[in-house]
Structure 1
């Protein structure tokens, strides 16, 4: 399956990017690209493959957030719903919370085996994955990632609007949005009616 996928590798360390691209080819990716900015992202995107985006922890969080925002707001769903994976070496619980809040699909700690990396990458294909879009978040549902609701998530009581999009990535058909739930609480719905 990965032989019909492209991998875009984002890192502040060019040598790491090149080495990691070679590793991704060895686990089956068809094409790999080192991406440094939005222009190189535009050039590397494949219209005929699922585009995986791998980030190195060595990049600054501000740069990672900007790159992910560019991907998630892209005009084409095949890019917008690209699997976004962080490759991390040593990561604290607080850093993990921060990266989860950015909207990564997966966080893989290395060193790891090629088989493990291949398995984790394949999880992103042919399964229905739910994405949540709010005023300040776009990514997979991570509310129960740490096993219990955090204080921030306890505040979520359905009073703010959000979208839940169910997505399936197929290596032959591309990305398909199979369902959209657009939650508008009564206060927002009434405001919308008044505006009409």
Structure 2
């Protein structure tokens, strides 16, 4: 775990949850996976004092779904690319496929179900780095391409409309450059994202 844990040791994790049990749970998670800095979202002064090239935003499964969606929207609309393009990870309990897919539809970069071995969690977290990741932007969604984790043949009428504008972006996150958009393709047509 040392090699990959060192990558996360250069990253920060921000807990987007209430203080108390959810925060303590995310704190244990961040410590077990080797993040170099862990703070509550209300303590952003610590992030300014100790900047990290990549910030992971962690949400807790106990947070109500409406609050999860609102947090995702606020992060994805933030003006700074360091926040807007940051990995947003849901830490969940083991759940059924329907619940899992509802989290995918919200637009999380990854959903990690606990309990799980620390090394597997570190591996999943580091997949957010040094890879090209497809993001989709529409009038009402900005985030990872949700087709990457859905049931084959799934139909999503809510994501279809008459002709509309959407963009396909290639996002890359590295310790050297932070999160950046490598490529943007604008399209005017129907898309299921």
TM over 0.5: yes
Specify whether residues 26 and 94 from structure 1 end up closer, same or farther in structure 2 by C-alpha distance, changes over 3 A only: closer
Question: Separation in 1 of the partners of 2:92 and 2:29?
Answer: 15
> Is residue 107 from structure 1 mapped to residue 115 from structure 2 by the alignment?
no
Moved more, 124-133 or 43-52: 43-52
TM norm structure 2: 0.83
The residue aligned with 2:92 is: 88
- Give CA-to-partner distance per residue, 1:24-44, whole Å, 9 cap, x none: 134221100123xxxx27546
Question: Separation in 2 of the partners of 1:107 and 1:79?
Answer: 18
Moved runs in structure 1, 4+ residues, more than 3 A? 41-48, 153-158
Question: Separation in 2 of the partners of 1:91 and 1:149?
Answer: 22
> Is residue 49 from structure 1 mapped to residue 81 from structure 2 by the alignment?
no
Moved more, 91-100 or 154-163: 154-163
The residue aligned with 1:193 is: none
In structure 1, stretches of 5+ residues that fail to align are: 186-196
Superposition RMSD on alpha carbons, in Å? 2.4
TM norm structure 1: 0.82
Moved more, 140-149 or 77-86: 140-149
- Give CA-to-partner distance per residue, 1:162-195, whole Å, 9 cap, x none: 011101101121112100001124xxxxxxxxxx
In structure 2, stretches of 5+ residues that fail to align are: 1-6
> How many aligned positions are there?
182
In the TM superposition, what are the counterparts of 1:57-96 in structure 2 within 5 Å? 57-96=61-100
Q: Which is greater in Rg? A: 1
Question: Please, which of 16, 20, 25 is the counterpart of residue 31 of structure 2?
Answer: 25
Question: 1:157 offset after TM fit, Å?
Answer: 8.2
Question: 1:143 offset after TM fit, Å?
Answer: 1.8
State whether residues 16 and 57 of structure 2, in contact with CA within 8 Å, keep that contact through their aligned partners in structure 1. yes
- Give CA-to-partner distance per residue, 1:92-151, whole Å, 9 cap, x none: 333222211111011111001111111110000000001001122221112252341322
